[in-house]
Amino acid sequence: MNNQPPLTALTIKDIESMGTLAEAKEKLAQRDDNHILEVSRLLNSVLISAERWVEIVKDMADGNDPLIQQAEADELVAKQLIVRTYRLGGES
């Protein structure tokens, strides 16, 4: 997002180094919270939350057309986070 490098995937070794299962769970929850805050900061939007952006990206990554409101689409296109494409009706 916004030319930021993708998040580094965790390995089993990373998780094992977090301590006990309870400590790992807490650290992973904090990591998720930090990522959501960073996405919110980068989105800089009152219209689209980080959680909504994750939902849109997940749909697109799964090959599905996300259900995006017109205002959401306009903002995401303006921020160059998505590209609007068109196709002929009746074709999938």
What are the structural domain ranges in the chain? Answer: 12-78
Rounded CA-CA distance 60/66 in Å is: 6
Please say if the pLDDT value at position 91 is more than 70.
no
CA dist., res. 27 & res. 58, Å (int): 23
What percent of the chain is predicted at pLDDT more than 90?
72
Distance from the Cα of residue 64 to its chain's centroid: 15
Predicted TM-score (pTM) of the model is: 0.72
Contact in structure between 78 and 44 (CB atoms under 8 Å): no
Nearest to 42 by CA among 89, 76, 85: 76
Kindly state the average pLDDT of the residues 14-25: 93
